[in-house]
Amino acid sequence: MKIAAAGAAFIAAIPAFAQGANVNFSQNSRNGVCYFSVQGPNAPGTDKPMTLEFSYRVRDGNMGVAVLVNGWPKAQSADPEAKVPVTVIFDTGKANPSRSGGFSSGFNDRLWGGYGAENSPPVLDLMKNARTARIETDGLKLGPFNLQMKGLAHISLTECADRVRAGKE
């Protein structure tokens, strides 16, 4: 419980800290899934900014990662049936490739990866000390994405999961 309280205090202190710093992230939950996202550089060959989004489905512990772009020819022309595993590389080490992944196009063009409940804990664990992340897949190297503060993505997702389990979200 001390860790949860410390994490909650950390998340609560961010708005005050952000007044003096350039902190820019998003966190939310929907239907038992927690999300953490940050803006990144433009998608290769475009002037369209990328957003890196991590998701954590609380009921089974499944992690997901997505790079979202509004108007990305790479995703628009990709075969939506092709399996394209995604590797997230944190400044703390390398995560295992996702067990599934690919490109899709719709409201946002996206590159996505799913780890499955059994492969998700190592990815979440690598976030504990991470400040940046890069994405590698299909010959692409995307990023780096600034995760804002050391461990912020981990704290955001785990605190959200605790609130969902407690019925508070």
Q: Is residue 54 packed enough to be buried (19+ CB in 10 Å), middle (13-18) or exposed (0-12)? A: buried
State yes or no: pLDDT of 157 exceeds 50: yes
Query: Average pLDDT of 42-60?
Result: 97
According to the model, what pLDDT value does residue 146 have?
97
Q: Which domains does the chain have, with CATH numbers?
A: 24-165 (2.60.40.1880)
According to the model, what pLDDT value does residue 23 have?
67
With H, G, I as helix, E, B as strand and everything else as coil, classify residue 145. strand
Query: Average pLDDT of 48-63?
Result: 97
Find the range with the poorest average confidence among 18-22, 42-46, 100-104.
18-22
